[in-house]
């Protein structure tokens, strides 16, 4: 597989949100606006790339029986690092994303890539795979965030183009399920062609 396809597969062919359907909880919960979706995506990207690198390095020496707990500890460590970094440099984002930052530990995308890719491939390829899947996740979350923000509050990335409020339901819980459902339909339609 060429280096470029390692990165680009996350955008469409193996898109973690629309094709693999992994990591639904942060996808639904944090996409109330485009900027929140973007921040959540980047936070996951950070953990994904670092855990992929470390796991690809330690995989040959980890006994098979305990590999899952070991991978979870590696991932939890990087999540804790991320919590410190975000508290220090982006305290506002840390507040808005709240519970979903520590919950990156149980995001199936991260453990899934560790298991399916990083444990079987070299460091360099694993890092690129992490970047690719992470960017794909970031793009999908931002796209969902943009749609929900336009419908729900009449703005994009905080830039307001509609006077008054939008359709409040799209910022609240039902909108998350509806927008994700209809965007998946759209994705299926496009993928068929």
Within a 10 A sphere around the Cβ of 60, how many other Cβ atoms? 7
Query: Nearer Cβ to other proteins, position 7 or 143?
Result: 143
**CB of 24: closest distance to other proteins in angstroms?**
4
Residues 133-192 that bind other proteins (CB under 8 A): 169, 172-178, 180-182, 184-185, 188-189, 192
Tokens of 85: 């970094």
Query: Nearer Cβ to other proteins, position 7 or 48?
Result: 48
Q: Single out the residue of 83, 90, 96, 155 in contact with other proteins (rule: CB under 8 A).
A: 83
Q: Does residue 11 sit in helix, strand or coil?
A: coil
CA 147 vs CA 31, 129, 137, 142, 178: distances in Å: 9, 27, 16, 9, 11
Q: Is 42 one of the binding residues for other proteins (CB under 8 A)?
A: no
Q: What angle do CA 174, 10, 30 make, to 5 degrees?
A: 30
**CB of 124: closest distance to other proteins in angstroms?**
28
The residues, ordered by sequence, that sit 6+ positions from 5 with a Cβ below 8 Å of its Cβ are none
Nearest residue to 183 (alpha-carbon basis) of 18, 1, 64, 9: 18
Residue 152 CA neighbour count, 13 Å, CB half: 23
Q: Is 105 one of the binding residues for other proteins (CB under 8 A)?
A: yes
**CB of 22: closest distance to other proteins in angstroms?**
7
Query: Nearer Cβ to other proteins, position 1 or 185?
Result: 185
Q: Is 69 one of the binding residues for other proteins (CB under 8 A)?
A: yes
Q: Note the residues at the interface with other proteins (CB under 8 A).
A: 21-25, 28-29, 69, 72-73, 76-77, 79-80, 83-84, 99, 102-103, 105-108, 111, 169, 172-178, 180-182, 184-185, 188-189, 192
């Amino acid at each position: 597989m060429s280096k470029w396809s390692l990165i680009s597969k996350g955008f469409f062919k193996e898109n973690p949100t629309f094709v693999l359907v992994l990591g639904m909880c942060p996808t639904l919960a944090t996409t109330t606006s485009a900027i929140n979706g973007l921040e959540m995506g980047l936070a996951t990207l950070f953990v994904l790339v670092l855990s992929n690198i470390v796991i690809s390095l330690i995989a040959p020496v980890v006994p098979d029986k305990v590999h899952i707990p070991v991978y979870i500890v590696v991932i939890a460590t990087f999540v804790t690092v991320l919590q410190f970094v975000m508290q220090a440099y982006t305290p506002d984002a840390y507040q808005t994303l709240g519970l979903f930052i520590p919950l990156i530990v149980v995001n199936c995308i991260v453990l899934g890539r560790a298991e399916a890719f990083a444990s079987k491939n070299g460091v360099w390829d694993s890092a690129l795979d992490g970047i690719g899947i992470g960017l794909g996740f970031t793009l999908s979350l931002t796209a969902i965030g943009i749609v929900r923000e336009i419908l729900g509050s009449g703005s994009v990335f905080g830039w307001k183009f509609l006077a008054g409020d939008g359709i409040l339901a799209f910022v609240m819980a039902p909108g998350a399920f509806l927008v994700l459902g209809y965007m998946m339909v759209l994705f299926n339609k496009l993928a068929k062609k």
